[in-house]
Structure 1
Amino acid sequence: MTLSDPASAASASASGIRPPVADSRITVRSHHGDDVEDRYEWFRAKEDAAVIAHLEAENAYTQQRTAHLDGLRERIFDEIKGRTLETDLSVPTRRGDWWYYGRTVEGKQYGIQCRAPLASPDDWTPPELSPDVEVPGEQVLLDGNVEAEGHEFFSLGSFEVSNDGRLMLFGVDVAGDERYTVRVRDLVTGEQQPDEIPGTFAGATFSPDGRFIVYTTVDDAWRPDTVWLHELGTPVAEDAKLFHEPDEKYWVGAGFTRSDRFLVIGLGSSITSEEWLLDADDLRGEPRVVWPRTEGVEYDSEHAVVEGEDVLFILHNDGALDFELVRVAASDPSGARSVVIPHRPGERLLGVSTFRDWGVVGYRRGGLARLGMLDYATGAVDEIAFDEPLYSVGTGGNPEWAPPLLRLGYGSFVTPGTVYDLDVASRELHLRKRQPVLGGYEPSDYAQERVWATAQDGTQVPVSLVYKRSFGDAGVAPRPVHLYGYGSYEHSIEPGFSVARLSELDRGVVFAVAHVRGGGEMGRQWYEDGKLLNKRNTFTDFVDAALHLIDNGYTTASQLVAEGGSAGGLLMGAVANIAPELFAGVLADVPFVDALTTILDPSLPLTVIEWDEWGDPLHNPDVYAYMKSYSPYENVRTDASYPRILAVTSLNDTRVLYVEPAKWVARLREVGADALLKCEMVAGHGGVSGRYNAWRERAFELAWILDVLGVADA
């Protein structure tokens, strides 16, 4: 490797700072009669000292190039910190004889998990906790700051207390590779138990009787493929294999129904699912399938007891594009189906949660997620209404089988995260807590709205906007705009509040989200129209959203920055190639920019699973040609003037390997692009761990965005 600057690299700054330039070590990729020379594939050798040296040189160069933003970064960090109530408590959740809640403490990176006893068995109203008032009977269960001592990275992938409240399990990752070691602690004595299970996936759980731990492990491709049963007090080597899925297209997971009646083992690819049930009181028995898998059919089931009969409510898309909800006998799931909620085209059913006496249904209509209460007797759904035109809502923190209250999480672009309890009988919402925002934040000072961009094929693409009113209405005069997008896996970008975002809005920036095809905002067809051989719609929708904002006076190309992460990073790379003239800057976070190389290699983590999303270019020449036509690394242009680009990645990311953005940045530099790479050397797909570290990371990104937008000194 050399750090000299070739004549073709125009990315050096005016001050003469030189970017690192890696050696060219050509490898050839050959598929379907197509030979492709790749000069930077050698970056994949993570154990190669030259690779690490190159990444460290990239970090040093990025730090030099952004050194002028140090003061702004510090100001933004201070703004985030100053708006955050650092010492705070979450709303307690009832489980068994205890209220469970979390603490954050000023100056500490990680949360502290606690509990306190109920005042009485009839106590369903959570206590109002104050950071400066001692909680009677409080017990600290797990202090993440203590567990993280001596580690640069710390992530909690499993955390659960047994039903009797005596034991706690927790799974810890200290590298960022999403491999968790599960340990068990006695909450009565405080002693660590001898049980220790290394190399697990997230989501380990106790059996209802507390005798066992059910956990999942992954194969060499990072695919969760096996469910295990560990009996407490016995060697891990004696753990029983409950289920193994050999098909590389399927993930496996397991969890107990809220009723504690069944263990559900769920399998899923991007387009097909299957579930198996085990009686919770006979975990060494033989699992039985709910519905045998059928290619292209997705479903999930929830147990309930209706009129004394064990039933399963099954949400499925068998002949129902936007899903329908049916009820079957738990003893004979493949038998007669009773339709509870029929398929309604354009109204996507998202999920059902069952409780002893009623259920909750999630669905999407008009681009917004909604919730409704399900009456078991009639099948009627009573929607829970909210006043804001844009919002997000979901259930959470409802472990009890027969509660009188339903815990909800709510928020919008202008309303901070809010916790409600819904009185199921009266339908009255009780506000339990709204995320405090210090410094005099007033929601009425900000506005949110949705506009519609017309795509190339006439499709109307929703674009959400949020801005500060004091700078004027959006669209009256051009303003700096930060446009975000994702558009894959049917994942919807919900209207949500961000403390960090206020540092942009208060400087006059409009934050926008392009809800492009490939996401799920407008129903299942919206997703289908942005995947496989329709993937280009995702990219052109984003370009058309940008054009709409420019053509209608919201912004100009010199005042527009795009951002996306992971699969949204692929979107960023693609639009930078398609329409570089529309953007002043592009921020790509853990970007999937070398998509074709990755998806061609089934030995790489998660590749085979991804074929349902992107297609199989290894065996299908048409898919190969299509992916090659848009994969960002394959299509860096020599005839384009690229916007400024910042790519952020992590060395231990197992989902999008660091090699992709590293190669992409090297290739962009060859054509004179001003591209920066920032690689976290001890982190994973989610970036750094610890809230202060995360704030500094976001402050770094926001400072770069503001600099590109020309408002860095505002």
Structure 2
Amino acid sequence: MYRPLLFAATAALTITAPLAAQQTPQTPPAPPVAAKKPHQVKAPFGAVREDDYYWLRDDTRKNPEMLAYLKAENAYADAVMAPTKPMQEALFKEITGRIKQDDSSVPYLDNGYYYYTRYEVGGSYPIVARRKGSMDAPEEILLNQPEMAKGANFFQIGGSGVSPDNRLLAYAEDKVGRRQFVLKVKDLTTGKTLEDAIPNVQAGFAWAGDNKTIFYIEKDPVTLLGKRVKAHVLGTPATADRLVYEEKDDTYSLGIGTTSSEKFICIYSGKTVSDEQRCAPVANPTSFAVIAPRERDFLYGADHVGDRWIIRTNWNAPNYRLMTVADSATGAGKAAWKDVVPHSAQVFIAGVQPFDNYLAIEERSGGNKRLRLLDNDGSSRFVEADEPAYSMGLSINAETATDWVRYTYNSLTTPATVIEANMKTGERRTLKVTPVPGYDASKYVTERLWATARDGTKVPVSLVYAKGFKKDGTAPLFQYAYGSYGYSTDPGFSPMLPSLLDRGMVYAIAHIRGGQELGRAWYDQGRMFNKKNSFTDFIDVTRYLVDQGYAKKGRVAAMGGSAGGLLMGAVTNMAPQDYAAIVSLVPFVDVVTTMLDPTIPLTTGEYDEWGNPETKASYDYMLSYSPYDQLKRGAYPAIFVGTGLWDSQVQYYEPAKYVAKLRTLKTDSNPLIFRINMEAGHGGKSGRFERFKEQSEYLAFALDQLKVK
């Protein structure tokens, strides 16, 4: 186990710092060199590994030697990236120029009020507001986030919710970036924040019907796992909060929310292969009844509307089916559930939103997600799309007594669009197209391709390029993927895309196994002992695009973040010659050591994603691809690694160790940049413009390596 390191006054970090005074224009700066300190990492079954950089872990984030190393890396990054400053500034100006600064969201109706967010010119954070009954009514500002964020290095509102009587607003606030939120309450009649403040909670919560009780999830202060559901009564001390439920199994995570009918508060316990849901009436939430007890390989989620429950489940249905049970029969368990939409081997049910008279169903087919509207009488229709590769998903639908369903649509060429569709008539009306100043969608083309992986599997690829592009094998390619947790990377518009495409680049998303674009089997084929499929799929997509003339070999940049950073580390080790540049953001690269430590956030809940290395079979397989452990002496591409010191999802010391070790092994002269945001967590800096500064830096890095001007 980790113990804080003790330092003597002379125990200084060995760093070659890129000081300007030591440089000449012709002399490249020397990279930092981290000290090696022998440390053994032991597995319960006896395996031992040497980890010379384990000392870089400091859970307090106060170790002066560690901080000195990170600062030296940032200084080195500044020096090496200095020649790209003009490109960074150009990209930032272009990207932010495509953002309407005083933009606002489409209002939605909830319990008599229209809610929306809006930005003011120059504002980094939104103002959350509402109007009673009509958008012509006076504006009530709920959260003035620009004011709330003043003086904070990081600021985030994780969630907010108004009490049933519309009088109080609860919200979760984070000013560190570690996702340990503080639950606060604002009186909307007076504008004053109440004295109630509950620290170390998850972002989600639920109001009881009495308008004074809030159910929230308390985190473990070490693992950051949501462990306990508590009920707080306004005006009472947090120490008096009632314990409602405690999750004893650390492999499960907790969630809480209110059903679509607003009649029930539900507690959700879940992991990769098992779910359990318990609910209580909002009017009297004293006893939570389990909908169906947890079983391994049994997944479900239940929502309530009218006098029935709608259940999405994999029970005898790998691609899920929809079932229903009346309120009066919920105590009978699964035996009382009846099919609404049966299982299909070709169609994956990704989600459902119940309304009083119909269901809006998110389905995946052919790699795309589409919407199906199912009437209570059994008739249905699909919401149409006009492009070969697109992203479609349910938007906020707070009211269930309506024939209109609101959804979002966008693609690699189409900016995010909010649309309403009428269940009865099929009519569609566009409520908003996100304004993109200076952008002309007709100048670009999007395609859906199917690359053949080495085992014969067809892997979907979404790509976009400027009109006039010639498939002659000379273009630079920027390829992205994620491919873990069953998360599907749907193709969506980004204001950075035209900056790449206008410079002659092709942008591609590889929908590799480990996502869920092609159903649950697609996910299962990219996790646990099948994880290497994710990596080889990505490499094979790259080679396919090069072979088909979409890109030139040696002019390919790859990017991924978090679990996608694991992907980047793996493909860098497996096929370094295929990539000129790698952008790896908050990367999960120290797989075995992290998964051997149950005190690290997320570890215990991910045994069914990666495996549990406490068993030899999982240990050996995970070790065989863990990027940190598989680093070897040799030539590597140019690599940009980014992290946040306060990251709670992938701890900063994973990429720190990875970079320190790689510096000692790489035999090439390609740059290795390590950028550490000392005031941010997993999502980078807060504020809508700050992230574009970070994006402009790593894009400039990639463009520079691809010789794109």
Length-normalised TM-score, structure 2: 0.94
1:664 aligns with 2:662: no
| Residue 464 of structure 1, CA deviation | 1.2
What amino acid sits opposite 1:319 in the alignment? Answer: N
Which residue, 545, 569, 573 being the options, matches 2:569?
573
Aligned partners of 1:16 and 1:357: how far apart in 2?
A: 68
Aligned partners of 1:387 and 1:82: how far apart in 2?
A: 27
Identity %: 39
Match of 2:603 in 1: 607
Go from structure 1 to structure 2 and tell me whether the alpha carbon gap of 1:5 and 1:651 turns closer, same or farther (over 3 Å shift): closer
| Residue 564 of structure 1, CA deviation | 0.4
Which residue, 95, 103, 109 being the options, matches 1:80?
95
Aligned partners of 1:645 and 1:70: how far apart in 2?
A: 18
Aligned partners of 2:194 and 2:27: how far apart in 1?
A: 59
| Residue 136 of structure 1, CA deviation | 4.4
1:273 aligns with 2:275: yes
Match of 1:370 in 2: 370
Structure 1 runs of 4+ with >3 Å offset: none
Aligned partners of 1:204 and 1:158: how far apart in 2?
A: 8
Match of 2:635 in 1: 641
Match of 2:394 in 1: 395
1:241 aligns with 2:243: yes
1:434 aligns with 2:433: yes
Match of 1:412 in 2: 411
Q: Provide, for residues 423-463 of structure 1, a one-character-per-residue CA deviation record: whole Å limited to 9, x for no partner.
A: 33322111111010102x11111000011211111111111
CA contact (8 A) 1:3 1:18 kept: no
What amino acid sits opposite 2:261 in the alignment? Answer: S
Which residue, 429, 443, 446 being the options, matches 1:445?
443
Q: Provide, for residues 143-171 of structure 1, a one-character-per-residue CA deviation record: whole Å limited to 9, x for no partner.
A: 11111111110010121122322111111
Instruction: Describe the SS at the equivalent of 1:665.
Output: helix
| Residue 13 of structure 1, CA deviation | 11
Aligned partners of 1:586 and 1:221: how far apart in 2?
A: 31
Unpaired stretches in structure 1, ≥5 consecutive residues: 7-11, 120-126, 128-134
Aligned partners of 2:255 and 2:328: how far apart in 1?
A: 22
Aligned partners of 1:89 and 1:538: how far apart in 2?
A: 38
Which residue, 646, 650, 662 being the options, matches 2:644?
650
Instruction: Describe the SS at the equivalent of 2:95.
Output: helix
Q: Where do 1:8-27 residues align within 5 Å?
A: 15-27=27-39
Aligned partners of 2:110 and 2:593: how far apart in 1?
A: 47
Q: Provide, for residues 569-591 of structure 1, a one-character-per-residue CA deviation record: whole Å limited to 9, x for no partner.
A: 00000000000000001000000
Instruction: Describe the SS at the equivalent of 1:202.
Output: strand
Instruction: Describe the SS at the equivalent of 1:89.
Output: coil
Match of 2:623 in 1: 628
Go from structure 1 to structure 2 and tell me whether the alpha carbon gap of 1:14 and 1:660 turns closer, same or farther (over 3 Å shift): farther
Q: Where do 1:534-553 residues align within 5 Å?
A: 534-553=530-549
What amino acid sits opposite 2:489 in the alignment? Answer: I
Unpaired stretches in structure 2, ≥5 consecutive residues: 1-12, 19-23
| Residue 35 of structure 1, CA deviation | 2.1
1:39 aligns with 2:52: yes
CA contact (8 A) 2:565 2:589 kept: yes
Q: Provide, for residues 87-143 of structure 1, a one-character-per-residue CA deviation record: whole Å limited to 9, x for no partner.
A: 121111111222111111111110001112224xxxxxxx5xxxxxxx641121111
Which residue, 520, 527, 532 being the options, matches 1:524?
520
CA contact (8 A) 1:653 1:685 kept: yes
Aligned partners of 1:571 and 1:14: how far apart in 2?
A: 35
Aligned partners of 1:280 and 1:87: how far apart in 2?
A: 38
Q: Where do 1:664-703 residues align within 5 Å?
A: 664-672=658-666, 674-703=671-700
CA contact (8 A) 1:176 1:683 kept: yes
Aligned partners of 1:95 and 1:694: how far apart in 2?
A: 31
Query: Would you say how many aligned residue pairs link Structure 1 and Structure 2?
Result: 682
| Residue 300 of structure 1, CA deviation | 0.4
Aligned partners of 1:348 and 1:39: how far apart in 2?
A: 46
Aligned partners of 1:480 and 1:255: how far apart in 2?
A: 46
| Residue 401 of structure 1, CA deviation | 2.8
Aligned partners of 1:114 and 1:693: how far apart in 2?
A: 23
Which residue, 484, 487, 494 being the options, matches 2:483?
487
Aligned partners of 2:592 and 2:102: how far apart in 1?
A: 46
Match of 1:315 in 2: 312
Instruction: Describe the SS at the equivalent of 1:183.
Output: strand
Aligned partners of 2:605 and 2:118: how far apart in 1?
A: 38
| Residue 5 of structure 1, CA deviation | 8.8
Q: Where do 1:65-144 residues align within 5 Å?
A: 65-119=80-134, 136-144=137-145
Q: Provide, for residues 460-506 of structure 1, a one-character-per-residue CA deviation record: whole Å limited to 9, x for no partner.
A: 11111111113x14x33320000101111011110100002221111
**Considering only aligned residues, what root-mean-square deviation do their CA atoms show, in Å?**
1.6
CA contact (8 A) 2:155 2:686 kept: yes
| Residue 272 of structure 1, CA deviation | 0.5
Aligned partners of 1:415 and 1:370: how far apart in 2?
A: 16
CA contact (8 A) 2:638 2:672 kept: yes
What amino acid sits opposite 1:543 in the alignment? Answer: I
Match of 2:496 in 1: 500
Instruction: Describe the SS at the equivalent of 1:626.
Output: helix
1:331 aligns with 2:325: no
CA contact (8 A) 1:13 1:65 kept: no
Q: Where do 1:206-245 residues align within 5 Å?
A: 206-219=207-220, 220-245=222-247
Aligned partners of 1:389 and 1:561: how far apart in 2?
A: 24
CA contact (8 A) 1:272 1:293 kept: yes
1:467 aligns with 2:462: no
CA contact (8 A) 2:209 2:284 kept: no
Q: Provide, for residues 610-636 of structure 1, a one-character-per-residue CA deviation record: whole Å limited to 9, x for no partner.
A: 101001111x10110111110000001
| Residue 208 of structure 1, CA deviation | 3.9
Aligned partners of 1:231 and 1:182: how far apart in 2?
A: 13
CA contact (8 A) 1:208 1:260 kept: no
CA contact (8 A) 1:168 1:185 kept: yes
Instruction: Describe the SS at the equivalent of 2:50.
Output: strand
Aligned partners of 2:440 and 2:472: how far apart in 1?
A: 23
Aligned partners of 2:619 and 2:79: how far apart in 1?
A: 39
Aligned partners of 2:187 and 2:42: how far apart in 1?
A: 56
Q: Provide, for residues 305-354 of structure 1, a one-character-per-residue CA deviation record: whole Å limited to 9, x for no partner.
A: 3xxxx221111112211111111223333142211111111311112111
Length-normalised TM-score, structure 1: 0.93
Aligned partners of 1:577 and 1:424: how far apart in 2?
A: 51
Go from structure 1 to structure 2 and tell me whether the alpha carbon gap of 1:163 and 1:422 turns closer, same or farther (over 3 Å shift): farther
Instruction: Describe the SS at the equivalent of 2:244.
Output: strand
| Residue 66 of structure 1, CA deviation | 0.3
CA contact (8 A) 1:557 1:581 kept: no
- Indicate the larger mover: 645-654 or 100-109: 100-109
What amino acid sits opposite 2:275 in the alignment? Answer: S
Instruction: Describe the SS at the equivalent of 1:360.
Output: strand
1:710 aligns with 2:707: yes
